[in-house]
Structure 1
Amino acid sequence: MQPTNTLSFRRVWMAAGLQADHSRMRRSGVISGLLLAGLFLLTVTAGFAQRHDNDADDAFLPSPIRSVSTVPGNGDVNPYGVVFIPRDFQSGSGPLRRGDILVSNFNNAANLQGTGTTIVRIPQSGAQSLFFQGTTPLGLSTALGALRAGLIVVGNFPSKDGTFATATAGSLLVINNRGQWIQSFAGPEIQGPWDMALVDHGDRAIAFIANTLTGSIARLDFAVRASGLTLLRSKTIASGYMHRGDPVTFVVSPTGLVYDEHSGVLYVASTGDNAVFAINNAADRMTDAGMGRLVYQDNTHLHGALAMAEAPNGHLLVANSDGINSDPNQPSEIVEFTKGGTFVKQLSVDPAQGGAFGLAVRSTEDVVTFAAVDDNTASLLIWLLNSEE
């Protein structure tokens, strides 16, 4: 949904002194020599307090970048999904608080893909902690979301030996606010859940699922209670996206999903097609729209579109896998573009390729928080953008 708090961004990002093991994933959560600095230049419009001089290019220096290891005690690596706990989340007696960040891990300590069993909690201050640990077979994917009723939903796309050849269709797991597994959903519309857009309507919710095994997008409609979810109906609403296994990235398939409630459009980032598509009437349609309408295809800046999020200004942010249309001069990029398909800016989260994946944005009246994982260092990078009076 297009926020009422609209920001117009001009951004310059700088990274220096980043030392890491540049293999695909790192077993240790200890990050050596991480020095990051960032500069955001923002034009503030509706919803944020404005400077008295009404300068169209007010500059804001963000709070220091925070880097947090996503490696829990069992050694899981390869952080994928990222979600903020919403403001009115029903925490009950559980540990989660609004503004906390959850990160799902896809690999185990042996770095085998599709075998990660954990979700870590990163509070607004203090050390990370384990929120959830399941039992194998699990491979917790980028499909991670939170419902205000006090529920966490996460995609499970497990592999027996860390290869795509032994991957199974998987499921959606429902976890309560105390970090306890309470439900699983599987079926023909859940075929390797790789990413998800979770739309919360209180007592109802919609989960749009990107399926790797079928190259399709499914919509699952749920009734929501604090005790769990009830599946009301499911439907494939888009299909035809490139999908295949990959020895490095595990899969190449549709990934990032963003739903715009104002327009009813679901945006789909398809890694293999290296493009972003739009599905109209996504919450109501009962027919398959195919791949939908092409929104953004940019071989200069896109290098295998992955996870996607919406910025406060209505732009889309997409991570790049570097497994498609690779460019060593543009490693681990997150690209910003308009919904009309115009490139805006890009930034790198790691000097080596293959680091960018899950990302999320949280907006309040006076603060925007942007979080993005770096797979190469098994860490989460967090930026705070503060308004001025």
Structure 2
Amino acid sequence: MISDQPPRQIRRTAQSLALARRTCLLAASCLCGLITLGAASAQAAPFIGPFAPNPAPVATTVPPNGDVNPYGIVTVPNSIGSLRRGDELVSNFNNSANQQGTGTTIVEIPPAGNDGTAGDASVFAQINPNTLRGRCPGGVGLTTALAVTRTGFVIVGSLPTSDGTSATAQAGCLIVLNSRGQVLETIAGGPINGPWDMTAVDHGFFTTLYVTNVLNGTVAAGTNASTGLGNVVDDGTVVRIQLLTTPGVRPFVLDEDVIATGFPERTDPNALLVGPTGVALSRDGTLYVADTQGNRIAAIPGAPFRESPATGGGLTVSSGGELNGPLGMTLAPNGDILTANGGDGNIVETTPRGDQTDIAADGPGGAGVLFGLTVPPGFNGVYFVDDGNNTLRVLRP
């Protein structure tokens, strides 16, 4: 049973803990930074180096309602409700008519995969835009922004359209579900404007979300008549949200801050929108961001505790080279940054120093087939979604 309103004492305690956490993280981040500097000379070998390229699919991501275009992926940490530890949750961005920004399903896939038959993916949640418990401007179109907590809450981004085009794209929201796939709450308004991707740091009592937003002025900027592409505006953002995730209490926002601005973004006839996408937080508190339009990896120092936003899209870790429209992002066990190229079907490993290694994850599929990716805890491999044939694949030795 979940209470609709958190008791005042819980709210006050949670807000106090959120404030205390910032202070603690500042000290911890400084210490981790010193440790990182001391160990910089002992750089690990590339994580993806031993992996076999172009793996075969292990599962379909298409549920019975026909949703396609898998975007987000996250590994379930604990068995609770309908969630099973080690399973992969995958969010679908398109409906059965392949209209972008209209997908409503999250599917759940066991580590070994499924039978591969389109339409057979097990549904964790099918979200009805007419029965949402809270505001979500435009409705439901599930993005790459996907997270699950140890306490069984699932958070997913929505950037909806009414016809699959950027002309009808609206601000959307973050949707919070329970462990049985039922919608509990939405997070909308304020700095949430086209939540495109997200990473989460689970503290148990509450969870910190880092969310990229790509709809700040992109539609209003119009389209270049000669190229057909949207005009670029440097208004993409990263928002940090502290969310109460205590069992038995309805999740609510404790704190919300814009921690980075100035990322380039635009509309696109094929990808709908292009802007800051994947995010991943390092142990020293640096938030890495996949700057898709800028074809680079950016860094936001001190992300857990910073009080003012990093401007100009943050610091550049690496640009060009093997990067080709980086989209989804995760961290390898060795601390390197893994990104999925939207331009060529490769996954690129980049060290915090900016050195690059790449591997063909879906060479035959080519451009536009990769998006979300994840490295499950203790697993020597990378799960990633393939938009080209709506499947789940695994890179491993």
Question: Does residue 273 of the first structure (1) align with residue 305 of the second (2)?
Answer: no
The whole-number CA distance in structure 1 between the counterparts of 2:265 and 2:349 is 24
Looking at structure 2, the residues matched to 90 and 151 of structure 1 have their Cα atoms a distance apart, in angstroms, of 12
Structure 1 counterpart SS, 2:101: coil
Instruction: Answer yes or no: is the 8 Å Cα contact 1:90–1:149 preserved in 2.
Output: no
> 152, 159, 162: which one pairs with 1:160?
162
What residue number does 1:143 align with? 145
Work out the CA distance in 1 between the residues paired with 2:395 and 2:372. Answer: 15
Structure 1 length-normalised TM = 0.78
Shift of 1:12: 5.2
SS at match of 1:362: coil
Structure 2 match to 1:376: 388
Deviations 1:269-295 (CA, angstroms, capped at 9, x unpaired): 111111111111111111011121110
Counterpart in 1 of 2:186?
184
2:167 is paired with a residue of what secondary structure? Answer: helix
Structure-1 residue corresponding to 2:52: 13
> Contact 1:350–1:356 (CA<8 Å) still a contact in 2?
no
CA distance in 1, matches of 2:72, 2:257: 23
What is the distance in 1 between the residues matched to 2:111 and 2:325? 31
Q: What is the alpha-carbon distance in structure 2 between the residues aligned to residue 82 and residue 335 of structure 1?
A: 17
Instruction: Name which of 329, 339, 357 aligns with 1:308.
Output: 329
Q: Which ranges of 4 or more aligned residues in structure 1 deviate by more than 6 Å?
A: none
- Determine if the alignment matches structure 1 residue 194 to structure 2 residue 196: yes
Structure 2: runs of 5 or more not aligned? 1-28, 37-43, 115-120, 130-138, 217-235
8 Å CA contact retained: 1:350, 1:374: no
Letter in 2 for 1:121: E
Residue identity (%): 42
Deviations 1:186-235 (A, max 9, x none): 01111000000111001021111100013011111122212431201111
SS state at 2:374 partner? strand
User: Do the aligned residues in 1 keep the contact of 2:210 with 2:238 (CA within 8 Å)?
Assistant: yes
* Alignment coverage as a number of residue pairs: 319
Gaps of 5+ in 1: 16-35, 37-64, 323-330
1:112 counterpart (99, 103, 109): 99
1:254-265 matches, within 5 Å, as 254-260=276-282, 262-265=283-286
In structure 2, relative to structure 1, the CA distance for the partners of 1:126 and 1:296 (3 Å cut) is closer
Aligned residue number for residue 247 of structure 1: 269
Q: Aligned letter for 1:76?
A: D
**Structure 2 counterpart of 1:13, one-letter code:** A
TM-score of the superposed pair, with normalisation by structure 2: 0.77
Structure 2 distance, partners of 1:126, 1:350, is 21
Instruction: State the secondary structure of the residue aligned to 2:251.
Output: strand
How far residue 368 of structure 1 moved from its aligned partner, in angstroms, is: 2.4
**After superposition, what is the alpha-carbon deviation per residue over 1:141-161, rounded to whole angstroms, capped at 9, x for unaligned?**
000001011111000110011
Distance in 1, matches of 2:360 and 2:354, equals 18
1:363 Cα offset (Å):
2.5
Matches within 5 A, 1:1-389: 8-9=46-47, 10-11=49-50, 13-15=52-54, 36=55, 67-86=58-77, 89=78, 91=80, 94-125=81-112, 127=114, 128-136=121-129, 137-214=139-216, 215-227=236-248, 228-260=250-282, 262-290=283-311, 291-298=313-320, 300-322=321-343, 331-351=344-364, 352-364=366-378, 367-383=379-395
Structure-2 separation of matches of 1:222 and 1:85: 18
* TM-aligned CA deviation for residue 265 of structure 1: 0.6
DSSP-derived class of the 2:263 partner: coil
Contact 1:336 1:344 in 2 (8 A): yes
User: Cα distance, 1:350 vs. partner?
Assistant: 4.2
The CA distance in 1 between the partners of 2:265 and 2:113, in whole Å, is 40
Distance 1:12 1:100, change over 3 A: closer
Structure 1 residues 12, 129: CA separation in 2 closer, same or farther (over 3 Å shift)?
closer
CA contact (8 A) 1:84 1:100 kept: yes
- Check conservation: 1:70, 1:120, Cα contact below 8 A: yes
What does the per-residue CA deviation read over 1:132-184, in whole Å, with 9 as the maximum and x for residues that have no partner? 00124311000000101111100011001101111110000011111111111
Contact in 2 for aligned 1:90/1:177 (Cα 8 Å): no
Higher strand share goes to which structure? 1
CA spacing shift, 1:126–1:363, aligned 2, 3 Å: closer
Aligned residue in 2 for 1:30: none
CA distance in 1, matches of 2:297, 2:168: 29
Relative to structure 1, the CA distance from residue 239 to residue 384 in structure 2 (aligned partners, 3 Å threshold; closer, same or farther) is same
Q: Which has more helix, going by share of residues? A: 2
* Partner secondary structure for residue 210 of structure 1: strand
From the superposition, tell whether residues 187 and 382 of structure 1 become closer, same or farther in structure 2 (CA, over 3 Å).
same
Q: Compute the displacement of 1:346 (Å).
A: 2.5
Structure 1 residues 67 and 125: CA distance shift in structure 2, 3 A: closer
- The 1:129–1:8 alpha-carbon spacing in structure 2 relative to 1, beyond 3 Å, is same
Structure 1 counterpart of 2:383, which letter?
A
Query: Is the contact made by 1:7 and 1:312 (CA closer than 8 Å) also made in structure 2?
Result: no
